[in-house]
Amino acid sequence: GESVGLHLPTLSVQEGDNSIINCAYSNSASDYFIWYKQESGKGPQFIIDIRSNMDKRQGQRVTVLLNKTVKHLSLQIAATQPGDSAVYFCAENFSGGYNKLIFGAGTRLAVHP
């Protein structure tokens, strides 16, 4: 079946640097994408979302970029902090799919002081 995948399983960055987490999706019909952050032993926490009619959306210290041509999604975190250390999942949704989310494999972000 179609799935959402990630290029990098682990990303290590220095505190203060910018982080970029990538995600590839395969369902061209997906029209809504979400990034979640999951800390150890906790449920996913919503970070930012983007709809397919946009190619960029900014939040507080985070930016999501969507490239529909190559079916690629990225999450940029500015000035990464130790509290950003977690596993990040991208998820895709097809509006005709009853709001079901398909999650990617996840990328672990490790922030070093």
Distance (Å, whole) CA 108 – CA 6: 11
Residue 58 touches other proteins, criterion: CB under 8 A: no
Residue 41 touches other proteins, criterion: CB under 8 A: yes
Residue 31 touches other proteins, criterion: CB under 8 A: no
Residue 45 touches other proteins, criterion: CB under 8 A: yes
What DSSP string runs through 55-78?
A: SEEE-SSEEEEEETTTTEEEEEES
* Rg of the chain in Å (alpha carbons): 13
Q: Which stretch binds other proteins (CB under 8 A): 18-26, 42-50, 54-62, 66-74?
A: 42-50
Distance (Å, whole) CA 17 – CA 45: 22
Q: Which stretch binds other proteins (CB under 8 A): 18-26, 33-41, 54-62, 75-83?
A: 33-41
Check: CB of residue 75 under 8 Å from CB of residue 90.
Answer: yes
Q: Smaller CB distance to other proteins: residue 25 or 36?
A: 36
| Residue numbers at the binding site for other proteins (CB under 8 A) | 34, 36, 41-46, 49, 89, 98-106
